[in-house]
Amino acid sequence: MFSLMANCCNWLKRWQEPARKVTLVMVGLDNAGKTATVRGIQGDNPRDVAPTVGFSKVDLKQGKFEVTIFDLGGGKRIRGIWKNYYSESHGVVFVVDSSDVQRIQETRETMAEVLQHPRIAGKPVLVLANKQDQEGALAEADIIENLSLEKLVNENKCLCQIEPCSAVLGYGKKVDKSIKKGLNWLLSNIAKDYEAITERVQKDTAEQRALEEQDKKERAERVRRIREESIGSEHMRICAPEVIKEVSL
Ligand code: G3D
């Protein structure tokens, strides 16, 4: 009887808790299936995808979580923007094209860079070993080995879960169960440490904004100086004939 009441109280407490806002960054090489995955979770057909040029932001409700996912373009030249989203992220979804054996080394290097980043290290990471429906796709154990995943997550103190999946299997309620399971794992691990991660997110975001602000001011100052200098040399050019005249008088 007592335990029933305690359970009811816990349930009521959880039910009354406000929704938790969680931001996730979704990264991985171009063509890994990031957008297809997000679309499937969102309830849209994952096969209707266009390449993500910069980034897309998706908001969804997952149980008690209000989740924002930044689906970032994975092309080599655009990967530089990823770090701008790290500070506000509570966790990472790293999507791997398991069928692209040729690029597994590039995937390994890219993942290492993400996990080693000071604004990511220590945060929970979900690895989606995508495209398992493709012939020749690497199995979970091969992906772990090829990416040196154990070493990488241990060195960077990231909790990690890998889910072999296929983003195009279904969508909405029929999305691949492994994707759902992985997302639930990620959110529940963020929830376990929510206060600490959120505090870190707020501190890092404030620091990043301050740096951006400083950068903006320095850029404005540089532009102002360049303008002043060019006005000065323009003035010199206009004045120069007069000066020569004065000298020759
Ligand atoms: P990205 O956002 O990581 O760049 P996309 O990748 O989501 O745009 O997917 C790239 C291509 O891979 C798309 O095909 C998409 O349909 C396909 N794809 C994504 N996930 C899977 C999967 O699990 N299995 C298979 N077979 N294909 C998948 P197109 O033809 O549009 O380039």
pLDDT for 138 beyond 80? yes
Which residue from 210, 186, 200, 216 is spatially nearest to 88, judged by alpha carbons? 200
Residues 6+ apart with CB under 8 A from 171: 39, 40, 41, 42, 43, 44, 45, 46
Report the pLDDT value the prediction gives residue 248, as an integer from 0 to 100.
Answer: 43
What is the whole-number distance in angstroms between the Cα of residue 239 and the centre of ligand 1? 64
Mapped onto helix, strand or coil, the DSSP state of residue 119 is coil
pLDDT for 14 beyond 80? no
Which of 43-52, 65-74, 102-111, 222-231 bottoms out in mean pLDDT, i.e. has the lowest? Answer: 43-52
Domain boundaries, the chain: 19-192, 196-249
Between 203 and 53, the higher pLDDT residue: 203
pLDDT for 1 beyond 70? no
What is the whole-number distance in angstroms between the Cα of residue 148 and the centre of ligand 1? 24
Binding site annotation covers 74?
yes
Binding site annotation covers 123?
no
* Mean pLDDT (whole number) for 165-174: 94
Between 207 and 2, the higher pLDDT residue: 207
**Residue 114 Cβ contacting ligand 1 at under 6 Å:** no
- Asked if 40 and 167 touch (Cβ cutoff 8 Å), the reply is yes
* Mean pLDDT (whole number) for 165-183: 95
For 65, 92, 109, 124, 212, the CA distances from 190, given in Å and listed in that order, are 10, 10, 25, 7, 27
Report the pLDDT value the prediction gives residue 16, as an integer from 0 to 100.
Answer: 65
The sign of the torsion formed by the CA atoms of 100, 143, 186, 73 equals negative
Which CATH code, of 3.40.50.410, 3.90.190.20, 3.40.50.300, 3.30.70.260, is assigned to 19-192? 3.40.50.300
